[in-house]
């Protein structure tokens, strides 16, 4: 009557380690900033966003794996999507940090090239909302109140 436990795959172990490290570092950031002060406000925001992105992708992956095993093709597809989301999100966060740094030192006119990483970050954020909290929040984020 009991199912045999399957050992976690390599990507599952890597994502579990990344998620644990991201959560630990987020906690360390919170403790440090509540007691000592901000590291550097721009770096603090960018690093916090990056760690939250990784923790969100890992949490969504864990929730998906809890529903049951997928076929090998679907597993590979989801792994590729997770990696693309992390890369696109980190690109967006790096661009955000770059623009903030430029705006702090000089007058910086946001260009069209800055819009692409922002759009990628928005798509990643919406997909994470859909994965973690369902279609309801995704719909509110996408269509909002007019």
Q: For 23-47, what is each residue's pLDDT tens digit?
A: 898 888 888 887 777 677 788 888 8
d(CA 9, CA 34): 38
What dihedral angle (degrees, nearest 10) is formed by the CA atoms of 100, 102, 105, 106? Answer: -120
Domains of the chain, residue spans: 10-143
Which tokens hold the place of 37?
A: 């002060």
Check whether 3 has a pLDDT greater than 60. no
Question: Tens of pLDDT along 42-69?
Answer: 888 888 899 999 999 998 888 888 887 7
Q: How confident is the model at residue 7, as a pLDDT?
A: 65
Which tokens hold the place of 120?
A: 């990628």
Q: How confident is the model at residue 135, as a pLDDT?
A: 81
Q: How confident is the model at residue 38, as a pLDDT?
A: 67
Q: Could you tell me if 105 and 97 are in contact, meaning their C-beta atoms sit under 8 angstroms apart?
A: no
What value does the mean pLDDT of the chain take?
83
Instruction: Select the more confidently predicted residue: 132 or 6.
Output: 132
């Amino acid at each position: 009557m009991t199912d045999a436990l399957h050992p976690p795959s390599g990507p599952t172990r890597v994502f579990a380690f990344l998620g644990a490290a991201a959560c630990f570092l987020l906690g360390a950031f919170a403790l440090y900033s509540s007691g000592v002060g901000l590291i550097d406000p721009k770096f603090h925001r960018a690093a916090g966003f990056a760690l939250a992105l990784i923790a969100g992708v890992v949490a969504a992956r864990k929730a998906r794996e809890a529903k049951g095993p997928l076929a090998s093709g679907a597993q590979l597809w989801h792994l590729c999507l997770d990696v693309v989301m992390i890369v696109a999100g980190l690109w967006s966060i790096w661009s955000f940090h770059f623009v903030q740094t430029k705006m702090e030192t000089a007058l910086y006119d946001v260009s069209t090239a800055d819009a692409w990483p922002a759009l990628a970050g928005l798509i990643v954020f919406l997909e994470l909302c859909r994965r973690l909290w369902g279609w309801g929040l995704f719909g509110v984020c996408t269509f909002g109140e007019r």
